[in-house]
């Protein structure tokens, strides 16, 4: 069999794979972070929102495990329990976290301003909408219902525990979206995310990637907090997030998904010139 390695996909984007919290819903990505703070508090361990945000994008068990390895949090755990946080402890925090997350996910899951309009603009162009998340399926089932009531119904939803290989930063959820939507080429797919593991996921899948610097985990502000800032303060708040997402390899960094349609047009122009992700 002879393979044509010179072949280049030069057609349009046919699939965009969105993250959920901080990307399409929950402007400041508070649903996962605040509930993690609450879950650790149930074990007598205080963690801050900033600490909870550190490993964002990972599957939630992995996220809790990563928090337990943070030196300051590990020290608090040892002071409380006289030992390091082990896998059984991670299991216990995760089991406490899950019902809290299911119960509270709706409190923080309003659509990000401009997100529904951006998705509608993509659909007009014939682009299919994939989605994946660090949330497990039991949380996603609740979030899917809430999002549908607001008008967001992606073509596929992949939860972090749907696939045996695992979640981010591996490529599996993004590639599963590609399969579900029937995309013709990884170069015809764009992964949009507010976290470094989410960008790494898209890159590992061979897709174009777009990072978000104002909405989501890196800036960590509510919509009201964001809009209360001056343009200069907004730029200063976004700058560390922009730098972090670019260092992770993101092809583009924009503030919110409201800006995405223009980026899609630019990517399609690059594809027409024979460029690849």
Q: DSSP string covering 187-256, please?
A: GGEEEEESSHHHHHHHHHTT-EEEEESSSSTTT---HHHHHHS-HHHHHHHHHHHHHHHHHTT-SEEESS
pLDDT at 14 over 90: yes
pLDDT score, position 106: 85
Which range has the top average pLDDT, 56-70, 159-173, 220-234? 220-234
pLDDT score, position 1: 38
pLDDT score, position 190: 98
pLDDT in tens, 91-119: 999 999 989 888 888 888 899 999 999 99
pLDDT band at 3 (very low <50, low <70, confident <90, very high): very low
243 vs 6, higher pLDDT: 243
Rounded to whole angstroms, what are the CA distances from 138 to 88, 100, 105?
A: 21, 12, 11
101 vs 24, higher pLDDT: 24
pLDDT band at 6 (very low <50, low <70, confident <90, very high): low
Rounded to whole angstroms, what are the CA distances from 126 to 16, 85, 157, 250?
A: 11, 48, 18, 24
Give dist(CA 184, CA 190) in Å, integer: 13
Kindly tell me the burial class for residue 9, based on how many C-beta atoms sit within 10 Å of its own C-beta (0-12, 13-18, 19 or more).
middle
Percent of the chain scored above 70 by pLDDT?
98
pLDDT at 5 over 70: no
pLDDT in tens, 186-222: 999 999 999 999 999 999 999 999 999 999 988 999 9
- Report, as an integer, the average pLDDT of 75-88: 95
Cβ atoms 210, 191 nearer than 8 A: yes
Question: With a threshold of 0.95, does the pTM exceed it?
Answer: no
pLDDT in tens, 122-179: 999 999 999 999 888 999 999 999 999 999 999 999 999 999 887 889 999 999 999 9
Q: Which domains does the chain have, with CATH numbers?
A: 15-29+109-272 (3.40.50.1000), 31-107 (1.10.150.240)
pLDDT at 78 over 70: yes
Enter the tokens of residue 230: 């001056």
pLDDT score, position 115: 98
Report the catalytic residues. Answer: 19, 60
Neighbouring C-beta atoms of residue 40, cutoff 10 Å: 23
Q: Between vectors from CA 131 to CA 113 and to CA 144, what angle results, nearest 5°?
A: 75
Helix (H, G, I), strand (E, B) or coil at 134: coil
């Amino acid at each position: 069999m002879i393979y044509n390695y010179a072949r280049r996909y030069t057609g349009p984007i046919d699939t965009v794979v969105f993250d959920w919290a901080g990307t399409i819903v929950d402007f400041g990505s508070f649903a996962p972070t605040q509930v993690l703070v609450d879950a650790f508090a149930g074990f007598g361990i205080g963690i801050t929102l900033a600490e909870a945000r550190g490993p964002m994008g990972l599957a939630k068990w992995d996220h809790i495990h990563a928090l337990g390895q943070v030196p300051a949090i590990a020290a608090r755990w040892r002071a409380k329990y006289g030992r390091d946080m082990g896998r059984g402890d991670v299991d216990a925090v995760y089991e406490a976290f899950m019902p809290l997350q299911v119960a509270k996910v709706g409190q923080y899951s309003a659509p990000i301003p401009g997100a529904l309009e951006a998705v509608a603009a993509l659909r007009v162009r014939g682009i299919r909408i994939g989605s994946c998340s660090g949330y497990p399926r039991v949380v996603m089932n609740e979030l899917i219902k809430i999002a549908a009531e607001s008008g967001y119904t992606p073509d596929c939803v992949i939860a972090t525990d749907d696939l045996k290989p695992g979640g981010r930063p591996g490529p599996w959820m993004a590639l599963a979206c590609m399969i579900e939507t029937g995309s013709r080429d990884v170069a015809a797919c764009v992964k949009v995310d507010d976290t470094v593991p989410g960008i790494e996921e898209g890159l590992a899948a061979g897709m174009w990637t777009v990072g978000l610097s104002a909405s989501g985990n890196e800036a960590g502000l509510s919509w009201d907090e964001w809009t209360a800032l001056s343009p200069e303060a907004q730029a200063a708040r976004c700058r560390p997030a922009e730098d972090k997402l670019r260092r992770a390899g993101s092809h583009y960094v924009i503030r919110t998904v409201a800006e995405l349609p223009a980026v899609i047009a630019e990517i399609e122009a690059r594809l027409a010139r024979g460029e690849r992700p």
